[in-house]
Structure 1
């Protein structure tokens, strides 16, 4: 037990109480109809808008304190809210509310020769724990997706957004309760004690799945220490490959957007591969440099523009989350594919080409959660995929992959209907 804490106030006890309340709330949530859940989420979105002043004031305090504390520009961008971003959060909640309810969907149905009728039916996972950093929008996004999929959720945000998360959580739950959903269905861990994370990771039997959203350090710790199943993504080391048959104007536009629209998101391009037979390399690199991006390249890339700095071996495996990009010239599709296989984190990789056969080869041979043709990697987002908000981009190969939205927050059960059959 930590010094100065009674047994009732240890992180383990706090998480245990949250989990017990969440389990009871999830059982209640399972009894609500699809229209009731949707209506409650619309009330939550309205409450977020009604509470805009309090949320933005709380966020301003978090942002000012984090800036004084030296938080990186990319992380500050993730943290900061304004009227437009807050309205976007409310719109995302409404979009989730309007999605079809996945719970109860019959995934397959069959009849055995002995007359048993089998069906595989989508059901909620139960109680989820979500551990995240910087982004206060996760508080609402995660809550909306969990409620829509019939799950209760325990949220543990980072200390840099503690006021913002609390304000968003209060507004969201106020709307939910007005819509008939128990307050305990969405809980924010009431302590910033770092030991609370460890308590969540050890809560096997109380929490059914942990989802981390944050940097490499957080995800690595969760994967190493968890005694609860984990749904996680690794770094967003995303590539764009400009093929020899790429349209130069498209290549410049897509590459610039992939890197510079929002450099601090996980779908931002971190490495750019340019085919040696592509004729517009100088124009693509010049646009990036003049747009404020620092370019690091191999010797052949450095020869294109004197403003390009040398790339180190570590650059090919770095998620910058800043306006920095590593660039390499490659001799054809196979070399590009080999580089991606060696250095991609399996998040999102893209090709720009007008050659349909090459595009199909790229789609088939790149083993990432999201593979794109002639599009910015910044589209790697649940909302852009028509899924509403998202919990994150899963880069593993089990359960869910790519943007994790409603279906990724469900599992299934088998329902068997008989007429008195016994097994011989």
Structure 2
């Protein structure tokens, strides 16, 4: 028995070593590809993006077939419908992925942009210019459309992409990456500019997280546990994306028709995404007029409201809220709701329970709007509009790489400029420092 256990341990160790070598080899090849990409013109990159989009459309049927295997496996495993919705692809969603690549191609290339420039008193010419990161690793869950989005944004910004999707989408991601790599070669760019990280195990993610020197930055996209594990376990620098406990606050001076419309859109238009509303706060002075209408509309839309006692007083179908509900990112047709006595109470609730993603106020009062914008410290603060607009495409950035809730380097939807760093170019005529 002991010999057998020891042999299993040796074999497991050998598997880990092989997987580590494969991940590091992929990262090294990505680094070589990144050197090539850094010198490419906008025309080269845009032609490759067009080829990638055309290839996705041409191979849509094969991608859908691969995706169907992932969806069937997810259903058999009892995966929640909200996650399956994120996983599912059809020809319409694949066409949207291709459209996203075309939109990225149409955007201004950030590489080489002069952020600032001036001549110093000693005659030195100083310019701060945008440059690619180099190799960008993206770790994400159950959303194969991210594969194309991330590849396109990385390519346009001159970066090689190392993609690690969840095992639940492995067939879909493999099919998409195969299509994209062939399109890159046809366009004269290195196939290794887009790669899947080898391996399905947790250890392969760990190898990527520790590939400092080969990978320049990691971007996690997914649930709180994924993001936390990457932030806490990585030796590679991380741009932290965040979960979306997004709030809609209905002020005392709100247009109630507008408030109902915004709330329904924010909660039900697509509940499985991070910019969907998860919490409703209603000023006490608006509660009597607003809550009966809002709760009926939410009930008709299939939403389960988890409310405090003041909300529950208006509808017997309200489920009593627990402490966990105020912090929840449901990603489903569930909504936490509370009545607050003031705008300041609403802001305090958001500061305590919010995730720093997107929070909205509905009000006709300009002073209230200004105070909310000042007091709520989130990546996006919205006045009289749905939280669903916090999105790279809606902001005009093209397909986004993620929504950052941190405060260093990038915050909010991350488009092309957020996928670059800068360097200083200093030009002189023989100056030396005294």
Equivalence map 1:3-402=2 (5 Å): 3=11, 10-278=18-286, 279-402=289-412
Q: For residue 178 of structure 1, report the CA deviation from its aligned partner.
A: 1.2
CA–CA distance in structure 1, aligned partners of residues 364 and 54 of structure 2: 45
Q: For residue 164 of structure 1, report the CA deviation from its aligned partner.
A: 0.5
2:285 aligned counterpart, secondary structure: coil
- CA deviations on 1:98-136 (whole Å, 9 max, x unpaired) are 110000000001111111111100000010111111000
2:11 aligned counterpart, secondary structure: coil
Q: For residue 11 of structure 1, report the CA deviation from its aligned partner.
A: 2.0
Q: Residues 2 and 10 of structure 1 are in contact (CA less than 8 Å); yes or no, is this contact kept in structure 2?
A: no
| 402, 422, 427: which one aligns with 1:412 | 422
- CA deviations on 1:243-302 (whole Å, 9 max, x unpaired) are 111111111111011011111100111100011111222111210111100001111100
TM-score by length of 2: 0.96
Question: Where has structure 1 moved over 3 Å in runs of 4 or more?
Answer: 4-9
- CA deviations on 1:135-160 (whole Å, 9 max, x unpaired) are 00010000000000000011111111
Q: For residue 367 of structure 1, report the CA deviation from its aligned partner.
A: 0.6
Q: For residue 169 of structure 1, report the CA deviation from its aligned partner.
A: 0.8
CA–CA distance in structure 2, aligned partners of residues 82 and 190 of structure 1: 26
1:174 aligned counterpart, secondary structure: helix
CA–CA distance in structure 2, aligned partners of residues 154 and 204 of structure 1: 13
Q: Residues 59 and 80 of structure 1 are in contact (CA less than 8 Å); yes or no, is this contact kept in structure 2?
A: yes
Consecutive unaligned residues in structure 2, runs of 5 or more? 1-8
Q: Residues 31 and 134 of structure 2 are in contact (CA less than 8 Å); yes or no, is this contact kept in structure 1?
A: yes
TM-score by length of 1: 0.98
- CA deviations on 1:391-422 (whole Å, 9 max, x unpaired) are 11100000100001111110000111111111
Q: Residues 19 and 198 of structure 2 are in contact (CA less than 8 Å); yes or no, is this contact kept in structure 1?
A: no
Cα distance, 1:302–1:176 mapped onto 2, change above 3 Å: same
Consecutive unaligned residues in structure 1, runs of 5 or more? none
Cα distance, 1:7–1:294 mapped onto 2, change above 3 Å: closer
2:185 aligned counterpart, secondary structure: helix
CA–CA distance in structure 1, aligned partners of residues 130 and 11 of structure 2: 45
Greater helix share, structure number: 2
Number of aligned residue pairs: give it: 424
CA–CA distance in structure 2, aligned partners of residues 283 and 8 of structure 1: 58
| Aligned residues: CA RMSD | 1.3
